[in-house]
A and B are shown apart, each in its own frame.
Chain A
Amino acid sequence: MIGVSLEQRVRAGLAAKRRWHPAEFAFWALALGAAFLFPSKLLILNEIAILALFAISLDLILGYAGIVSLGHAAFFGAGAYAAGLMALHVSADPLVGLLVATLASAIVGFITCPLILKGNDLARLMVTLGIAQLMYELANAFSRITGGADGLQGISMKPLLGRFEFDLFGQTAYFYSLAVLFVLFLVARRIVHAPFGLSLRAIRDNPLRAAASGVPATRRLLMVYTLAAAYAGAAGALLAQTTQFVSLDVLAFHRSADLMLVLIIGGAGYLYGGIIGALAFKLIQDGIAAFTPQYWQFWIGLFLVLFVLGGRDIIHGGIGALARRLGALMPRRGSAP
C-alpha cells in the first residue's frame, strides 16, 4: 500500500515537473524573436543555438547522470564529419545528413561507452580525453578522407525541405538550428522528467544505492551516454551544414574544455543551464575577441579559474536572488540572466 502511494506521489511529482512554466514560453519566444530583433547577428545566434544543443548533450550525462567528460568533442566531431562527408559524397539534403550524422555519433558513443562506464571520475576524465584525442589523431591521419588540416571543403547543401536556401546571412541557418535545438530540447525535457531521468539522478547521487534498489545502472548509463552522443553529433552536423565546412577544429581539445565552461556558467542539471551558458559564453567570447583576438584564451582561462574559485556561487546566488525578486514583482518573468 505504501508502495502504491509512493508511486502515485512520484508520478504526480514528475507530471508537475513536465508542465510548462510561463517563463519557458517567454524564453523560446525570445529565442525566436532574436532573429527579428538582431537580423545582423544571425551568424552568431546560429553558433549559440548549436553550442546550446552541444551543452544540452553534455548536461544529459554530466548534470543528470553524473558522468564527467573531457572529450565530448569526439561526438561533436563525429557528427560534423559524418554530415560533411554525407553532403560531399552521398546526399546534400540537410535533414538526411542530420539524421545520418546523429546516428553515426550515437554509434560512436555506444561503442566507446563501455570504456567510460568503468572506473571513477578521474579515470573517466582521462578516458574521455583519450578518446577525443584518438579521434583527432585519426581524423588527422586519414587525411585522404577528412582532408586533414585543410578540412572538408566544397560542401554545398541543398535547400532545407527543398525550399529554403542557406543564405550568407545565416537566416535559414539560425531557424534550422533553432528548430533542431527546440525539438531535441523537447525530447530531452520529456526524458529527464520521466522515470528514466529520475533513475539517472538516483545513479548520479548514489550509484551503490541505486543499484541496490533495482536500477539497472549500467544499462541506463549506456542509454543516456548514447543519447548524449547523438545530441552532440546533431550539434556537430548543424555546424558542418550551416557553415558548409568541417575542419580538425571540431575535434580539438579546447572545444571540450569550452563546453565544460559553458555548463559551469549556466549550471548543470537543468536543461536551460546549457542554453543560458551557451548564450553567456558566446557573448563573453565575442566581447573578448573583439579587443584581443589572439589572446582570448587567457581570459577564458581566467574566467574558469575565478568561476571555480568562488565566482560561480556569487553569480548563481545573485541571479537566483534577482529572479526571486523579479518573480515577486511580476507573475511572468524571463529566465535569461
Chain B
Amino acid sequence: MLTLIIDGIAYGMVLFILASGLSVTLGLMNFINLAHGAFAMGGGYASVVLLQRFGIPFLWTLPLAFLAAALAGLLLERIAYRPMYAKSHLDQVMFSIGLVFMAVAGIDYLMGSTQQFVRLPEWLQGRFELGGVAVGRYRLFVIVLCGLLALAMQWGFMRTRFGSRLRAAVDDARVARGLGIPVNAIFALTFAFGSGLAGLGGAIGIELMGLDPSFPLKFMIYFLIVVTVGGTSTITGPFLAAMLLGIADVAGKYFLPQVGAFIIYALMVVLLLIKPEGLFARSRA
C-alpha cells in the first residue's frame, strides 16, 4: 500500500514537472498550448537518442533533454506562437493540435512507432527496503530530484526579481507592461523554461510512463487537469493537483485495472462539476 503511494507520488512529481510550464503559458498569455506534450516527447526522445546512439549515460542526458526542449520552445515561440496570442481560443487550440499531429507523425517517421526504453544506471535499478516498505530506487530518485526542482521553482517564483515580475505579468499583463516590465521577453524566457521542464519531465518519465509517438495525445488531458485543478497563479496549486492525480491514477490502475483511464476522466468531470465557474477565470485577460 505504501509502495503504491510512493509510486503515485513519483508519478505525480513527474506530472508536475511536465505540466508546470503549461500553467505559466496559460496564466501569462491566456494561451492554451495543447502541444505542450510534444515538447515533453521531444525531451524524451532526445534522451533516448543520446543514450542509444551516442552512449551518453542516462543522467547526463537529462540536462541535455532540458536544453533541447527549451531551445525548441524558444524557437517555436518566436516563429509560430507569437502571432497566435491575439487570435481566438479556438484558433489557438487548432494551431496547437496541428503541432501535436505534426510532432506525432514526425516522431513516428523518424523513430518508429514502438515503445522506447532507456537503460538506467546500476545504482538506480531495483528496489530496497525502507522500514518494511519496498521502494523503487529510481522512484525515490525521481521524488528527490523533482522535489528539489519544485522547491527551486517555488523559491525562484516567490523570492527572485524575475519571479515577482512574472507574477505581476500573470496577474495583469497590461498593468505590468505599463510599469515597464518587459512582458514579452519574460514570456519568451518562461515559455522556453517551461518547455525545457517538459522535456526534462519527458526524459525522467520514460521509465514511469513509457514513451512512444502518441505520448502528447495520451497525456494532454493529464496536463490540462493539473492546470485546471491547480490554477495558474501559484506553484503549489499545480503541485498538489499533480500529486492528487498521480496517486489517483496509480491507485486506480492498480485496484481497478479494467476501468483503466476512465477514472481520470471521471475525476475531471466531477471536479468540473464541483468547481464549474472560474476554472480559468483567473486567466481571463
Contacts and interface: CB of A to CB of B under 8 A. Distances in A.
Interface string A245-256: 000000001100
A129 B97 CA distance: 12
Interface stretch (A88-96, A136-144, A226-234): A136-144
Q: Which 6 A-B pairs have the closest CB atoms?
A: A304-B98, A301-B101, A298-B105, A301-B102, A118-B276, A305-B98
A303 interface: yes
A302 B94 CA distance: 11
Contacts of B99: 301, 305
Contacts of B156: none
Interface of A: 62, 68, 70, 115, 118-123, 125-127, 129-131, 133-134, 137-138, 140-141, 253-254, 257, 260-261, 264, 294-298, 300-305, 307-310
A62 B93 CA distance: 14
Given A115-B273, A122-B280, A122-B283, A261 B104 contact: no
Given A301-B100, A305-B80, 9 more contacts: A62-B90, A122-B279, A122-B280, A123-B280, A129-B221, A141-B260, A295-B105, A301-B101, A302-B102
A131 B268 CA distance: 9
Contact of A125 (B32, B80, B108): B32
Interface residues of B, number: 48
B89 interface: yes
Contact of B94 (A115, A119, A127, A304): A304
B260 A300 contact: no
B265 A130 contact: yes
A308 B84 contact: yes
B282 to A, nearest CB: 11
B269 interface: yes
Contacts of A307: 94, 98
A130 B221 contact: yes
Contact of A298 (B97, B106, B221): B106
Interface in B228-285: 228, 258-262, 265-266, 268-269, 272-273, 276-277, 279-281, 283-284
Contacts of B259: 137, 141
Contacts of A295: 105, 108-109
Nearest to B269: A130
Nearest to B258: A141
Contacts of A118: 272, 276-277
Contacts of B5: none
Contacts of B262: 134, 137-138, 141
B88 to A, nearest CB: 8
B224 interface: yes
Nearest to A301: B101
Contacts of A294: 108-109
A97 to B, nearest CB: 27
29 contacts: A62-B90, A115-B269, A115-B272, A115-B273, A118-B276, A119-B276, A120-B280, A121-B88, A122-B279, A126-B272, A130-B269, A130-B272, A137-B260, A141-B259, A141-B260, A254-B101, A257-B101, A295-B109, A297-B102, A298-B101, A301-B100, A301-B105, A302-B102, A304-B98, A305-B80, A307-B94, A308-B91, A308-B92, A309-B80
B217 interface: yes
Nearest to A66: B90
A257 B266 CA distance: 21
A183 B46 CA distance: 53
Nearest to A135: B265
Given A297-B101, A308-B91, A134 B269 contact: yes
A138 B260 CA distance: 9
B49 to A, nearest CB: 19
B132 interface: no
Contact of B98 (A131, A133, A308): A308
Choose among A122, A260, A303 the residue with the greatest number of B CB atoms under 10 Å from its CB.
A122
Nearest to A312: B91
B101 A300 contact: yes
A304 B265 contact: no
B266 to A, nearest CB: 7
Nearest to B273: A115
Contacts of A121: 88-90
B101 A122 contact: no
Nearest to A296: B105
Contacts of A68: 89-90, 93
B91 A119 contact: no
Interface string B62-93: 00000000000000000010011001111111
Nearest to A252: B217
Contacts of B258: 141
A122 B32 contact: yes
Contacts of B95: 304-305, 308-309
B80 A126 contact: no
Contacts of A298: 101-102, 104-106, 109
Contacts of B98: 300-305, 307-308
A120 B262 CA distance: 25
A120 B265 CA distance: 19
Contacts of B217: 253
A126 B265 contact: no
Interface string B3-18: 0000000000000000
Listed residue (A129, A264, A297, A308) with the most chain B CB atoms within 10 angstroms of its CB:
A308
Contacts of B26: 122
A39 B100 CA distance: 37
A68 B93 CA distance: 10
